[in-house]
Structure 1
């Protein structure tokens, strides 16, 4: 039933999407053929799962999914190579939402992931409707067919794979495809085991070894003025020693060059120190910003992006407009964030000192914390000021008569 349901999607709304794309032609038509290939590759994978047990090695799943992921990468690469196309919004709408096929690797709730990807493409489908609804109705039908495809995919996943991909459990585990043929190894080198030439350096070496106890006669004796515990001045300025001006002594990050770069959909900001002019501009909704080991910095993100990760940063602040998925703090110290728009989830893990300034649009946020301390949420009031609310750090757990446990928050009375 699972395979048949996915086949119905291919033969139904997806086939309509491909048909309309062929009518539009040009880049849209070519792109739709790649999309069709991606769905067919996933269909083959679902057929495999319906006939096999789940592989014992979790890494094997990625090998089975490689044909699908390769086509998804080709779809997104096609968009990147055709940025000057008059149908760039069409290409972007597909590229942003085609990762929905990755639901097979999501658990325990893959259906919401499909919807999230559908929503990620909505920014561009809205642009298509705006630009073409008065010019050519086929583009409106193209948008409807694609959104219907992902909507039915979400319903399919929710019905047949509610908590994750279901394997049949009947029959042997799925067998990995054979590895590609490799080139033969070169022949081993020919070793010369012939007699040793007495005039060679090797004979001199053996003569040195055969000296017996006399081999140590030429070693230099270590005197007391050469011993560091008797002569402390030897420690000053030695190679392993770092002087007072080093980064290790000042508490700054290691001597690695600062990074501020964009790699496809990912913005990397790493090893920045005392830089308050870091601005992420012209980002797209599927972009991810990753901060790593930044110290005393301020990062401003303009526009709506997918997610932000702040990892191992100190005394760093981040200002954001709007987030699609989540903001994550990991292994940080004394960090701050301020939202001007909406954010669904904020995660704080192994962090000491985190100040969260929310906007009126983000008051429905979920804040998930673990192994963290000194966390405060700042909620805006009617007069424009912020009201500080500390996040609980201390809990009390008791054992109930039925031998279960109960955990409550312990209020800090200060």
Structure 2
């Protein structure tokens, strides 16, 4: 067991030890088998028609788990084991939910101990080494901590979100290491039918002085380019749910917001306030004039091209995003490119109560 999961293992061992004492006091035969992962399908299916929580989990497993396991299989034997371990643990979680929706809350949380045995068995299959698969194995090892939410008496969602952050630390290293050399390492097959876009929208709203650009694609405009002619610098441009589209904004505008777009190119002249990207994937933004701020939030894959005029003044505000890069021209007109840091090292000063932050060593080159 790795150092990062050792406390979890100790906690589980303590819980199981207390459970054994309770079983003994209650006259329950020691060694009563714990709920098995293989029983999850039948238990879940018997309840899915009557309880929305189980039905929702069944849908989640169908849409997310199978593609993840398939991606693990594609990468080789080492990651195949990881996929199998995750499948066993998450299906065991389904067995727990199927029982939980029919049961009252136990007076002692130690009664939940047997439901951890399948997780422990699955977690024991993941033993991170120091080689090319170290980050993958540590990502999965950390992920098992999420399943401990059943021991959280309150706010289990907040706990799971925190554990996702721990997984992201290692998964981000995978993205940085392999995004250029082996793209399939970060490819998602991460499933389900794709919802079609609605009808394309391109209109100006007097209220709010805003251009609305929605559901645009490479085929919805001549030559695949939609041009927005801004005649007043008070105008804003809101771009929503476009795919494989190119949006060219001519003239100075107040602000540009790009929301939930995929593989979309956004070009603009000058922007008085900021260009904001949120919930995007594989985006490209080019500023031909001046833009004081570019905000990137919940976006995976963003390349920003800055003009020589704005390169010295533009600031970036980023959160919950990955694979961000910025490109700018040097004195000779040749473009340079640099990754925008997405990992940081934080250090607490207990005496002052302050926290100092530095860029991760991954960006030292």
Where on the TM-score scale, by shorter chain, does this alignment land: which range? 0.3 to 0.5
Q: What TM-score do you get using the length of structure 2 for normalisation? A: 0.43
Structure (1 or 2) with the larger CA radius of gyration: 1
